Amino acid sequence: AAGKLWGGRFTGGTDPIMVQYNESIYFDRVFYSQDIRGSISYARANTKTGLLTEREFAEIERGFKQVLKEWQDGVFDIKPGIDEDIHTANERRLGEIIGKEIAGKLHTGRSRNDQVATDMRLWLRDQLEQLESYLIAFLKVIAARAEKEIEHVMPGYTHLQRAQPIRWSHWMLLYGSFFASDLERLREVRARINKSPLGCGALAGNPFNIDREAIAKELGFDGLIMNSMAGVGDRDFVVETMQWGTMLMTHLSRWAEDLIIYSTGEFSFVKLADTYSTGSSLMPQKKNPDSLELIRGKSGRAFGHMTGLMMSIKGIPSTYNKDLQESVEPLLDHIKTVGDSVQIATGVLSTLNILPENMLKSLSPDMLATDLADYLVRKGVPFRETHHISGRVVALAENEGKPMDTLTFEQLQGVDNRFEKDVLGVFDYQKSVEMRSAKGGTSRGAVLEQIEAIKKTLAAN
């Protein structure tokens, strides 16, 4: 343990497997720039407390600029067994460049506990900004298609049984509303992440009266994590991010499942572009919706990372414990999975071919049974009664072995004499969707209003 930052009290060596088990450099190096940025701000604040001279600070800043460049150029030389994590690696290299005399002053009053929490928050807020842009791009495709393809009518399902006609756009906007909520939640989560833990020290706070607010401001944080023990021991921001991402992935998964069903030969409502499909090594005719299946599958993985971390932290005592290092890898994978999935979904939707004639062919007149009942409601008959009357019409058509809309006016009158000549006008799918004109319904006007609502969410920030 001699070469270690914390080696002073140690005499024995570390088990080589323990070294590996403990080190995080091979994944937390993604925080290299955040770590350097945080360190420079911390050093600047320490020139105000008098712990560093202006000249020493200039040296630290100069040294870190070189370290940053080495990372960016891909030439940073990680020392296996020495560079335990990104914090030790950066400090070790800084010492080599500017000398240990000055570099050794940097960590005064600071701990890797407040350091790693700072790095993660800085990194995550940038990632969420990127994810926000992906989500916005996806929602724009949804809104644009919904507007352009508003004509097309398809079967709407409950229990995956044909239920009532809807606009194809209405289906797209159902997910649009889910994803718009995901976007709103993302902005809320980001606001909670963007608070500074720097200056919390190991757990009890900073003994040199460092100006935490100045550091936070310089790093672009909107305020502080106030309690120092909370600052170092909190990974709720990671859990919350993954809860957000899991909910988004759940929406994407259901969306993908719908499209997988709609793309089967039996449905044939949509056809996936070749770009997002793959073939079979054995069956020449196959074109498989792998992109959608992967979205569905990866949602499980995103969920797993979230629950895994919740299990890891639920029983640990307060403040920093090494268990918290286990929050990093799931987070990295989770963010990548969510980002990739939203981008793939955007690609799938923007290249998707629809087959409106098949949607139309899949509509059946019995899907208008509710409309038939509503017709009599408009004539003043109580719905509970009209439901039965319409049911008898469905049964009659079934017994006759012909579609409901081919029954004659006389046959309908035979079921109930309150049917009048205009009843035949009920059997019209376009008319049926236009009837649903109350807010949030599937009529043209109600659909256009939903598109406007999504556009409003996109613009808000």
Complex with ligand ARG: residue 107 or 192, whichever CB lies closer? 107
Question: How near is the Cβ of 193 to ligand ARG at its closest, in Å?
Answer: 17
| Shortest distance, position 306 Cβ to ligand ARG, whole Å | 18
Between residues 87 and 436, which has the closer beta carbon with respect to ligand ARG?
87
Nearer to ligand ARG, 24 or 46 (CB): 24
- Which x/- pattern over 49-88 shows residues binding ligand ARG (rule: CB under 6 A)? ------------------------------------x---
Query: Given candidates 40, 67, 116, 367, which one binds ligand ARG under the rule CB under 6 A?
Result: 116
33 is catalytic: no
Task: Assess 113 for contact with ligand ARG (CB under 6 A).
Answer: yes
What are 35's two structure tokens?
């770590």
Quick check: 121 binds ligand ARG (CB under 6 A)?
Answer: no
- Rounded to a whole number of angstroms, the minimum distance from the CB of residue 104 to ligand ARG is 18
Binding of residue 112 to ligand ARG (CB under 6 A) = yes
Q: Identify the active-site residue in 39, 41, 181, 280.
A: 280
DSSP letter, residue 255: H
Three-state SS string over the chain comes to CCCCCCHHHCCCCCCHHHHHHHCCHHHHHHHHHHHHHHHHHHHHHHHHCCCCCHHHHHHHHHHHHHHHHHHHCCCCCCCCCCCCCHHHHHHHHHHHHHCHHHHCCCCCCCCHHHHHHHHHHHHHHHHHHHHHHHHHHHHHHHHHHHHHCCCCEEEEEECCEEEEEEEHHHHHHHHHHHHHHHHHHHHHHHHHHCCECCCCCCCCCCCCCCCHHHHHHHCCCCCECCCHHHHHHCCHHHHHHHHHHHHHHHHHHHHHHHHHHHCCCCCCCEECCHHHCECCCCCCCCCECHHHHHHHHHHHHHHHHHHHHHHHHHCCCCCCCHHHHHHHHHHHHHHHHHHHHHHHHHHHHHHCEECHHHHHHCCCHHHHHHHHHHHHHHCCCCHHHHHHHHHHHHHHHHHHCCCHHHCCHHHHHHHCCCCCHHHHHHCCHHHHHHHCCCCCCCCHHHHHHHHHHHHHHHHCC
Q: Which is nearer to ligand ARG, 93 or 436 (CB)?
A: 93
**Do residues 321 and 312 make contact, with C-beta atoms less than 8 angstroms apart?**
no
* Contact window for ligand ARG (CB under 6 A) among 109-117, 205-213, 304-312, 356-364: 109-117
Give the footprint of ligand ARG on residues 85-104 (CB under 6 A).
Answer: 85
Residue 176 or residue 197: which is nearer to ligand ARG going by CB? 197
- Window contacting ligand ARG (CB under 6 A); options: 110-118, 215-223, 388-396, 444-452: 110-118
Least distance from ligand ARG to the Cβ atom of residue 301, Å: 22
Strand 153-158 versus strand 161-167 pairing type:
antiparallel
Is 387 catalytic? The answer is no
CB of residue 207 vs ligand ARG: minimum separation in angstroms?
17
Residue 34 binds to ligand ARG (criterion: CB under 6 A):
no
Residue 452: half-sphere exposure toward Cβ, Cα within 13 Å: 8
Minimum distance between the CB of residue 163 and ligand ARG, rounded to whole angstroms?
Answer: 51
CB of 441 to ligand ARG, least distance (A): 51
Q: What DSSP element (H or E) covers 102?
A: helix 100-103
Q: Does 228 interact with ligand ARG (rule: CB under 6 A)?
A: no
Instruction: Report the DSSP pairing between strands 161-167 and 353-354.
Output: unpaired
User: Applying CB under 6 A, what is the total number of residues that bind ligand ARG?
Assistant: 11
User: Of the candidates 70, 92, 68, which has an alpha carbon nearest to the alpha carbon of residue 80?
Assistant: 92
The 300-339 contact track toward ligand ARG, x by CB under 6 A, reads --------------------x-x-xx--x-----------
Contact flag: residue 35 with ligand ARG (CB under 6 A): no
**How far apart, in whole angstroms, are the C-alpha atoms of residue 389 and residue 391?**
5
From 41, 111, 159, 318, active-site residue: 159
Minimum CB–partner distance for residue 34 and ligand ARG (Å) = 13
Nearer to ligand ARG, 52 or 324 (CB): 324
With CB under 6 A as the contact rule, which of the stretches 59-67, 112-120, 235-243, 414-422 interacts with ligand ARG?
112-120
Residues forming the site for ligand ARG (CB under 6 A) = 24, 28, 85, 112-113, 116, 320, 322, 324-325, 328
Q: Which residues are catalytic?
A: 159, 280
